[in-house]
Amino acid sequence: MKFFVDTAEIDAIAELNDLGMVDGVTTNPSLIKKSGRDIIEVTKEICDLVEGPVSAEVTATDSATMIAEGRKLLEIADNIAVKVPLTWDGLKACKTLTDDGHMVNVTLCFSANQALLAAKAGATFISPFIGRLDDINLDGMELIADIRTIYDNYGFDTEILAASIRSVNHVLDSARLGADVMTAPPGVIKSMINHPLTDKGLDAFLADIKAADIKIL
């Protein structure tokens, strides 16, 4: 499973990147707003840092402007994936940009039918939003499973990018269901390491190291 980091915070990306945990980055207008940075400037910095796909989202809602914005974003670096919303205009922009050989991430996916349309429009990534479905008492994981089945039934090579991940269980369940990629905030990725038995076991070993004065260096 590929790990994308869902943030526009450079320091957080760099920290995880140094550990080999970053296969790509996703941003959206809310994350750009949170960073307080200019979209072009911060996206360029992320692209300089990370080798894998960096999703940058268009701001327009009509396909012609989405395509123009997408082309401007694509000038930033070779690893840009243009992010477009799951609307007919977004799919039109997706088809044009992927036909030209560029990566497109179709975002705001909440149904398997939408994911089917995105795959037919040539999307590189489809982003089903797990957390936002859970927020309204629907089952985000059921959506991941449905998309996996449909894409496998027909051999679509659009990658399933599990998005809106809010917990380590979302990561685990997405991996179990065969999502190709997951994107999560740095805090969620970092908390994947936590286990009370690891802490307890290490405390016991440290006590024995002290008691027996075990030294290696």
Question: Can you give the binding site for ligand E4P, defined by CB under 6 A?
Answer: 6, 26, 28, 107, 127, 129, 131-132, 163-164, 183
When the beta carbons of 6 and 89 are compared against ligand E4P, the nearer one is: 6
Do residues 161 and 126 lie in contact, with contact meaning Cβ atoms separated by under 8 Å?
Answer: yes
Catalytic site positions: 83
- The single-letter code of the amino acid at 85 is P
5 or 116: whose CB is closer to ligand E4P?
5
Confirm if 37 and 58 have CB atoms less than 8 A apart. Answer: no
| Number of residues written out for the chain | 217
Minimum CB distance to ligand E4P smaller for 129 or for 156:
129
String of DSSP letters for 169-193: HHHHHHHHHT-SEEEE-HHHHHHTT
Q: Rounded to whole angstroms, how far apart are CA atoms 44 and 54?
A: 9
Report the nearest approach of ligand E4P to the CB of residue 6 (Å): 5
Q: Is 147 helix (H, G, I), strand (E, B) or coil?
A: helix
> Using the 8-state DSSP alphabet, how is residue 124 labeled?
S
CB of 34 to ligand E4P, least distance (A): 10
Comparing CB distances to ligand E4P, the nearer of 1 and 64 is 1
